[in-house]
Structure 1
Amino acid sequence: MSKRHSWTIDPDLDGIDLEPEDFGSSIPLKKVPFGDVFEASRAGDVDRLGYLLESGVNVNARDQWDSVALYYACLAGHLDAAKMLLESGAICSEHTFDGDRCHYASLNLKVRKLLKAFEARPPPLGPLQAALRETFLGCWANRVYLDQLDSQSQIPGYSSNGGFSSSHFPPDVVFYIQGRPIEAHRVILSARSPFFKKKFETDWKDRKEVRFSREKLSYPALYSLIHFFYSDRLEIAVDDMEDLVRISKVCKCESLQRVLEKELIHQKYADYKALRDMDNSLKRFILQGLSLPEEDRLPAALHRILEISLANSTREQNVEGGVDNLVSCIGAMQISEFEHDHADVCVRVDKKIFRCHQVVLASRSEYFKARLSRMKDFFEGKNGLPGILPCLEEHDLSMEAFEKMIEYMYTDGLKDINPDQADEMFDAASRYLLFPLKRAVADVLLPHLENVPPAELCHWLVLSDMYGVLKIREYCLDAIACDFETFADTPEFRSMLLTLPPPSGDSSLRTTAPSAPGAGVNTDQGNLLDDLREKWLEAEGAELDERDESALLFDKRLEMLMVVAEQEKSSALADSTDE
């Protein structure tokens, strides 16, 4: 379920200011068709390296000499290989063990300048991690501490990256360490730590505040750990790492504890070689969630919580009657739950009640954040019973579609989907302001589209164009352009032409509806037939001086097909009238 989120540096960084003398000699490139990520980086084999990274190899893994792949690419002076590793999440920041090694080992200035270009630009988080991190840092106490770190420059690069929404989602528990608060949400902590899960079910079950009296408990270490629970990214001063190891052991975060213990050895070795009296900067350690086993990452943790909630939700599937009967159903669900899921809201869809978590819904969807923020009592303002979970009612949505939607909201992915549900899922993504869901649905559907007949592919082209699903739209256009005559012989394709604006260079003619509120403006999607013409020209390999003539031939071919489509439409109407 977890997928690697690649990223690209700003376009202006592609033209890093390099002098002629920067381009010193590098170790000759070699091909290592069966090599691992370290061999591919050392050889500069970007084809092999790209294949390994796409396969999910941990870009920050260490080999038997405790070196990372980026170190070998820098050591050999392979700029393209180093850039590919950095774009895939390799850590290169200064004041880290691996970052300093890569800087010092760089064969030439061009590689060193590339590393500097990526300084303080960690790869962006996935949609789930970014949304929950914003919720965590949107809490007042957490943001205050982060601002203090930024102002003191204690941990360079550990910044909020700009404005947080003033309408943040409130926490449901606050920890006080030596009088300093950390705000959090029970379900996130319970999902990531067996220690917190047990405490919230026993000693801390009804407590809104938890005060720690131990003087030796480190506030920065606990803050960094809780921030990691939300974001799958850990940044901490090296001086606080021993405290973090102890806290990780108490919280039963075993895989994280092992990584930290091993890293402490590297940091002690780095301190041995460094002149600490001359370097007063505070060293730090950065850890990406990809360095941990998949089952210990945020999506897998929330998936386990979701499975428990869905199992509890199936207790009452047939909800009939009015509000009173619904209240009794929700009460029965709470009484009969077989495993604690920390649910704090119910969502009724059709005849099923889903147990959900407000912080996940609000973090992933502005629609749910608005609904939950104005929900004061049971049933959004209607009088209810104390102790019963609040409930939202959603209409014009099937139970199956909602279950798939929350699967994505909790895990950032979909295991599978019924192609017949795609239309409803695309519509739900727009209605609930959950636009990345469209890409997740497209990723699952693409293998299915490889085997559909031309007539069905025309349906998918119109559907993807209408909802702005670029990945499916591009796939359909490529398939039609590469086998145009086969589609031209298909009645469904000819019929589709009658529903589309004619090809033109006028950008005001669009085939898509206006963007929904909150959606990014899509400048890549224009007139559908214009784009099909461009794809066809590329497939035909038309020379530049022949493109205008070839485009004219394509437009004439479309006109002939539309005439045939009109005749077929008239014949069909005449036949239906005779009947």
Structure 2
Amino acid sequence: MDVSDLFSSCKKGDIFRVRYLVEQRDVDLNVRDNWDSSPLYYACLCGHDELVQYLLASGARCEANTFDGERCLYCCLNDSVRRLLKDYKCITVRAMQRDDYNYFLHMLLEQGLQSDVKFLVHGQIFTAHRCVLSARSEYFTDMFETKWKGKNLITLKHPLVNPAAFGAILQYSYTGRMDIDISLVEDCTRLAKQCKMEDFIEEMENKCKQLYEFVFNKPGICVKVLSLEPHISQLQEEMAQLADCALPTDLRVGFGELPFNGVDRFPTYPDICFRVDGFDFLCHKAFFCGRSDYFKALLEDHFSEGGQLQSQPSTPVITLHNISHEIFIHVMYYIYTDNTELITEDVFDVLCMADMYLLPGLKRLCGKTLAKTICEDNVLYMWKMAKLFRLSRLEDQCTEFMAKIIERLVEQDEFAELIKEDAASLEERQETDSIPVVDEIRFHITSNVQTYSAIEEANQKLEALEELLTSINIEC
């Protein structure tokens, strides 16, 4: 529903609605429709300058000389939009951080944090992590256990191994994304075949076909860069193997056979052990430090407080307190994959630990699970929880639900107290200043009201709300 609303709003040029959907509802602004078109494409097509500028600043992909970039440029309704696209340089850090997981993987490769292997390719050094490459490619798994076993520096001397192509393979392995000069497609394909990356090869071939057809049908268009967008589900599934392997043997019940002939034959090269409820989880500092400032401080600043694993003396042990192993499993899978299967019974405990471990994405995931349980009996409690944990989307969903049942809600003393508390929480509030929760409810009551009957219904709801405010001596 939100996705179709985003496309519709981009066609209309409704920047306020788009901002609401992107910033409050967390809708992906690079989502595709059935015609492989993005919201930015429709904003350009319809000539909405201000909206195009907002989408670009917020992370809409439109690099020059790429398929998406040239397609948007070609369809622009007017020159002002075309100039905006031409002036567009790159995605800002702020925009990249909207997607925490993709940004983390990008920085993991870019900065080589906690890397345990280096590749020397014709004079150029690439830092990497054996666990990531092993999870993404059976070829790397085999090589790290045979020809490259025990090596921290691996030299690739073959004349056909192009450094830029190798860098693109690493980029794809880490992020699922690739940006490569068209002239290097053949080199990338050759390397991908060597690395047994069939999905990558198929994706490259399909993208090349799409690109060539586009250029053929649009004379004058010049595409110099081939870009592959990540398939997040596949990336998450393969990174989940690292979490699967980190599970203690006693807790692997219910997990199916992993690739590469089972868990024991898929070494992940852990460098940290978390002990929870007496269970040892063999994990990777690169993931825990990269995704959580809490774990970064724990592992880097207080490392001397830990012990060592008897079976692997080189692996430090950190004991985590005040968390059960069941909840830690949720945290661990989120850290590796940006996702975890939550059940209602566990979600509050996971939310508390996500807040403690400084994992805002996991908090949002908990918020999505909680949103599915919103009902008349718990909506006020949910709203307070959303405020406490700063879950803006859940808070918005609660006020949206309140707007639907406002005529019954105004009869509850607890709702009146909630409004008073929200008013009191505002510093230096004057008598006529607005109250956030009231403003949000009013917004949802009046949004998308188009028919006469809907207007009548909205007016009745607003009147009920105003009567309550008057009865508790609040003017806003």
1:30 corresponds in structure 2 to none
Equivalent positions of 1:138-149 (< 5 A) are 138-139=111-112
Contact 2:66–2:226, Cα closer than 8 Å, also in 1 = yes
Alpha-carbon distance between aligned partners in 1 of 2:109 and 2:325, rounded to the nearest angstrom: 30
1:216 corresponds in structure 2 to 160
Distance apart, 1:90 and its partner CA = 7.0
Seen in structure 2, the aligned counterparts of structure 1 residues 349 and 489 have a Cα distance that, compared at 3 Å, is: farther
Equivalent positions of 1:370-389 (< 5 A) are 370-374=297-301, 380=306, 387=313, 389=315
Contact 1:361–1:369, Cα closer than 8 Å, also in 2 = yes
Which of 316, 328, 339 lines up with 1:413 in the alignment?
339
Alpha-carbon distance between aligned partners in 2 of 1:411 and 1:222, rounded to the nearest angstrom: 24
RMSD: 4.8
1:283 corresponds in structure 2 to 224
Distance apart, 1:219 and its partner CA = 0.8
Q: Deviations over 1:191-215 (max 9, x none)?
A: 1112112222333332211111212
Letter in 2 for 1:309: A
Which of 354, 378, 385 lines up with 1:463 in the alignment?
385
Seen in structure 2, the aligned counterparts of structure 1 residues 558 and 396 have a Cα distance that, compared at 3 Å, is: farther
Seen in structure 2, the aligned counterparts of structure 1 residues 232 and 94 have a Cα distance that, compared at 3 Å, is: same
Distance apart, 1:251 and its partner CA = 1.3
Q: Deviations over 1:473-493 (max 9, x none)?
A: 2223333344345345557x2
Equivalent positions of 1:116-195 (< 5 A) are 116=86, 118-121=88-91, 124=96, 126-139=99-112, 169-195=113-139
Alpha-carbon distance between aligned partners in 2 of 1:504 and 1:345, rounded to the nearest angstrom: 47
Which of 218, 226, 241 lines up with 1:304 in the alignment?
241
Distance apart, 1:384 and its partner CA = 6.3
Distance apart, 1:373 and its partner CA = 2.4
Distance apart, 1:376 and its partner CA = 5.7
Distance apart, 1:263 and its partner CA = 4.2
| 1:235 matched to 2:235 | no
| 1:483 matched to 2:405 | yes
1:507 corresponds in structure 2 to 427
Equivalent positions of 1:381-400 (< 5 A) are 387=313, 389-400=315-326
Alpha-carbon distance between aligned partners in 1 of 2:40 and 2:320, rounded to the nearest angstrom: 54
1:577 corresponds in structure 2 to none
Alpha-carbon distance between aligned partners in 2 of 1:307 and 1:99, rounded to the nearest angstrom: 39
Alpha-carbon distance between aligned partners in 2 of 1:453 and 1:551, rounded to the nearest angstrom: 17
The alignment partner of 1:182 has SS state of strand
| 1:554 matched to 2:468 | yes
| 1:352 matched to 2:279 | yes
Letter in 2 for 1:100: E
Q: Deviations over 1:132-162 (max 9, x none)?
A: 21122123xxxxxxxxxxxxxxxxxxxxxxx
Distance apart, 1:105 and its partner CA = 5.1
1:442 corresponds in structure 2 to 367
Contact 2:48–2:81, Cα closer than 8 Å, also in 1 = no
Contact 1:312–1:338, Cα closer than 8 Å, also in 2 = no
Distance apart, 1:244 and its partner CA = 0.9
Alpha-carbon distance between aligned partners in 2 of 1:174 and 1:300, rounded to the nearest angstrom: 25
Q: Deviations over 1:37-73 (max 9, x none)?
A: 9xx99xx6999xx99xx79997398x7xxxx646996
Contact 2:67–2:227, Cα closer than 8 Å, also in 1 = no
The alignment partner of 2:247 has SS state of helix
Seen in structure 2, the aligned counterparts of structure 1 residues 535 and 214 have a Cα distance that, compared at 3 Å, is: closer
1:331 corresponds in structure 2 to none
Which of 55, 74, 78 lines up with 2:46 in the alignment?
78
The alignment partner of 1:176 has SS state of strand
Alpha-carbon distance between aligned partners in 1 of 2:44 and 2:303, rounded to the nearest angstrom: 62
Seen in structure 2, the aligned counterparts of structure 1 residues 535 and 126 have a Cα distance that, compared at 3 Å, is: closer
Contact 1:70–1:85, Cα closer than 8 Å, also in 2 = no
Distance apart, 1:458 and its partner CA = 2.8
Alpha-carbon distance between aligned partners in 1 of 2:228 and 2:309, rounded to the nearest angstrom: 47
Alpha-carbon distance between aligned partners in 2 of 1:474 and 1:387, rounded to the nearest angstrom: 50
Seen in structure 2, the aligned counterparts of structure 1 residues 240 and 5 have a Cα distance that, compared at 3 Å, is: farther
Seen in structure 2, the aligned counterparts of structure 1 residues 307 and 557 have a Cα distance that, compared at 3 Å, is: farther
Letter in 2 for 1:458: L
Tell which deviates more after alignment, 217-226 or 302-311.
Answer: 302-311
| 1:196 matched to 2:143 | no
Distance apart, 1:414 and its partner CA = 3.1
Contact 1:74–1:106, Cα closer than 8 Å, also in 2 = no
Alpha-carbon distance between aligned partners in 1 of 2:298 and 2:145, rounded to the nearest angstrom: 28
Task: State TM-score, norm by structure 2.
Answer: 0.73
2:330 corresponds in structure 1 to 404
Contact 1:74–1:111, Cα closer than 8 Å, also in 2 = no
Seen in structure 2, the aligned counterparts of structure 1 residues 505 and 302 have a Cα distance that, compared at 3 Å, is: closer
Which of 409, 432, 436 lines up with 1:531 in the alignment?
436
Alpha-carbon distance between aligned partners in 2 of 1:72 and 1:171, rounded to the nearest angstrom: 37
Distance apart, 1:433 and its partner CA = 1.4
Identity value in percent: 23
Letter in 2 for 1:410: Y
Alpha-carbon distance between aligned partners in 1 of 2:116 and 2:346, rounded to the nearest angstrom: 35
Letter in 2 for 1:345: I
Alpha-carbon distance between aligned partners in 1 of 2:291 and 2:348, rounded to the nearest angstrom: 21
Equivalent positions of 1:41-120 (< 5 A) are 59=32, 69=37, 77-79=45-47, 91-97=61-67, 99-104=69-74, 106-116=76-86, 118-120=88-90
Contact 2:407–2:465, Cα closer than 8 Å, also in 1 = no
Distance apart, 1:222 and its partner CA = 0.7
Letter in 2 for 1:457: V
Seen in structure 2, the aligned counterparts of structure 1 residues 416 and 381 have a Cα distance that, compared at 3 Å, is: closer
Distance apart, 1:549 and its partner CA = 10
How many residue pairs end up in the alignment?
430
The alignment partner of 1:442 has SS state of helix
Seen in structure 2, the aligned counterparts of structure 1 residues 531 and 74 have a Cα distance that, compared at 3 Å, is: closer
Distance apart, 1:85 and its partner CA = 13
Distance apart, 1:75 and its partner CA = 12
Larger radius of gyration: 1
Alpha-carbon distance between aligned partners in 2 of 1:381 and 1:352, rounded to the nearest angstrom: 14
Alpha-carbon distance between aligned partners in 2 of 1:413 and 1:179, rounded to the nearest angstrom: 38
2:357 corresponds in structure 1 to 432
Contact 1:366–1:432, Cα closer than 8 Å, also in 2 = yes
- Unaligned regions of 5+ residues in structure 1, if any? 9-36, 140-168, 317-335, 510-528, 561-579
Contact 2:179–2:226, Cα closer than 8 Å, also in 1 = yes
- Unaligned regions of 5+ residues in structure 2, if any? 22-26, 254-262, 447-454, 457-461
